[in-house]
Structure 1
Amino acid sequence: MNKALKTMIDNMPEKTGKSLAEWKILLKEKAFAKHSEAVNYLKTEYQVTHGFANTIVTLSKDEQHTSEDLVENQYKGKENLIPIYNSLISFVKSLGEDISITPKKGSVSIIR
């Protein structure tokens, strides 16, 4: 886990009123079809900033699928492309520790 994400999680109770574990329980009780629906819910109902809402929703989904599972599913039938993906990710990681790499169902989000 990168330093910025760890700091955000550590500050979450003070800034949002709940810990990440509490937010995960709250979101588990709801059934959102889309990521944006869950983010908007947290922003509207709990006045959580977009950054915290997005992080909470993203980390709540992490328990459902590992990063490896998500990437593996993206490359089913295209296994010959995995070495290219691995090379790109290796290069991106070499750019610094302030980069967040988040595999999703159909893509990989890379944010600095």
Structure 2
Amino acid sequence: MDQATQTMIDNLHKNTGKTLDEWIAVVAQEKLQKHGEILKFLKEKHAFTHGFANLVAHKALKSDAGSADDQDELVKKQYVGKESFWPIYEKLRKEIAALGKDVDFVPKNAYVSVKRKKQFAMLVPATKTRYEIGINLKGHPSEGILELETKSNAMCSHKVVINHEEQIHPELLDWLQKAYDAVG
């Protein structure tokens, strides 16, 4: 388990008085089986922040990299029915890995979180026709291909939407470099 996740688990217990296992039991008792349902329940009924609710949801559903038996399989499942996006993922992974030796790719059920000390990007095969690259550049305006993320529970401040490998061009790579540098 990475240090950031362990710190969150420790802080969850400090902040709520319950351990991660106790919160997983609460979720199981409620018979919640969808990620969004768990987030809503924990935020509305227990005043969780998005980060803590997301942690508990992933652990309860065993949908994060740390709970999955096979991380490669977790990533491959994301591309079932979206196979045309696999070359995009492979190219982005190669380009992002070249940013530094401290880049970590952490698969979840629906996306791959890209971290340094903190998450700075997300790789998301969102639909069969839309691939999203989430980028964390809080406080930065929308500019060029960089759109502000408007979802209230967004895990990244911005996104870039593409649908072809050729759209992985210098501007996108520059934004990823800036996000990587910002969490250094």
Superposition TM-score tier, normalisation by shorter sequence: 0.5 to 0.7
For 2:37 and 2:50, locate their aligned partners in 1 and report how far apart those are by CA, in whole Å.
Answer: 12
For 1:2 and 1:97, locate their aligned partners in 2 and report how far apart those are by CA, in whole Å.
Answer: 12
For 1:10 and 1:34, locate their aligned partners in 2 and report how far apart those are by CA, in whole Å.
Answer: 24
Change (3 A) 1:12 1:32: same
Contact 2:35 2:61 in 1 (8 A): no
For 1:29 and 1:62, locate their aligned partners in 2 and report how far apart those are by CA, in whole Å.
Answer: 16
For 1:56 and 1:21, locate their aligned partners in 2 and report how far apart those are by CA, in whole Å.
Answer: 9
Deviations 1:69-102 (A, max 9, x none): 3223234584xx48x7466446645646585623
What is the aligned counterpart of 1:103 among 105, 108, 122?
Answer: 108
Change (3 A) 1:92 1:31: farther
Q: Give aligned pairs, total.
A: 110
Give 1:15 deviation, angstroms.
Answer: 0.8
What residue number does 1:73 align with? 77
For 1:96 and 1:52, locate their aligned partners in 2 and report how far apart those are by CA, in whole Å.
Answer: 28
Give % identity.
31
Give 1:10 deviation, angstroms.
Answer: 1.6
What residue number does 1:29 align with? 29
Contact 1:43 1:50 in 2 (8 A): yes
Alignment TM-score, normalising by the size of structure 2? 0.46
For 1:48 and 1:86, locate their aligned partners in 2 and report how far apart those are by CA, in whole Å.
Answer: 35
More strand by share: 2
Q: Which runs of 4 or more aligned residues in structure 1 lie more than 6 Å from their structure 2 counterparts after TM superposition?
A: none
Unaligned ranges ≥5, structure 2: 121-184
For 1:22-61, what aligned pairs fall within 5 Å after superposition? 22-32=22-32, 34-61=34-61
For 2:49 and 2:112, locate their aligned partners in 1 and report how far apart those are by CA, in whole Å.
Answer: 23
Contact 1:70 1:103 in 2 (8 A): yes
Unaligned ranges ≥5, structure 1: none
User: Considering only aligned residues, what root-mean-square deviation do their CA atoms show, in Å?
Assistant: 3.3
Change (3 A) 1:75 1:44: closer
For 1:29 and 1:69, locate their aligned partners in 2 and report how far apart those are by CA, in whole Å.
Answer: 29
